[in-house]
Amino acid sequence: MADAVLFEFLHTEMVAELWARRPDPSPGGQKTSLSVLEGMGFRVGQALGERLPQDTLAFREELDALKFLCKDVWVAVFQKQMDGLRTNHQGTYVLQDNDFPLLVRMASGLQYLEEAPKFLAFTCGLLRGTLNTLGIKSLVTASVAALPACKFQVVIQRA
């Protein structure tokens, strides 16, 4: 449990540092900070994917890889499984976490809803980086309708 608290603290400090260094409230300044966080998550996701057992990396279908993200990777990072996985069977997947650990502390008020995207960018990169290591190119976005629940939309990019 201590690892989860340390990860949450580190994540909060990364977000705070990026917004302190780039206080530019314009959309361009915010996009740069979100891009940096997503890039950091991507690199962590790649490293996480590289440390997986080699037999785990041989998925027959994309859906198997996404199930792996929802179960094994999510447990490794957040000590819990993802709450839901839906697909349209055409390369779009929606991963749902009803109690996302990085948003739990913000769930006390609606005023924090607009702050949520900066707390999801790292995780979007983490998912994309892990999938990249598994040989799946993707685009990952996140949305929040009510704190602390969030959805990650994964769109597989085909060559």
Please write the tens of the pLDDT for every residue from 113-145: 888 888 999 999 999 999 999 889 999 999 998
Residues 6 or more apart whose Cβ sits within 8 Å of residue 132? 42, 45, 46, 49, 138
pLDDT of residue 55: 59
- Flag whether pLDDT at 1 surpasses 50: no
- CATH code, 107: 3.30.1380.20
Q: How far apart are CA 142 and CA 46, in angstroms?
A: 19
What total of structural domains would you count in the chain?
1
Please write the tens of the pLDDT for every residue from 26-80: 555 667 888 999 999 999 999 988 887 655 556 778 898 899 899 988 988 899 9
- Of 138, 144, 143, 141, the C-alpha closest to 156 is 138
- Of 112, 21, 132, the C-alpha closest to 69 is 132
Domain hosting residue 38, numbered range: 4-156
- Altogether, the residues listed in the chain come to a count of 159
pLDDT of residue 22: 54
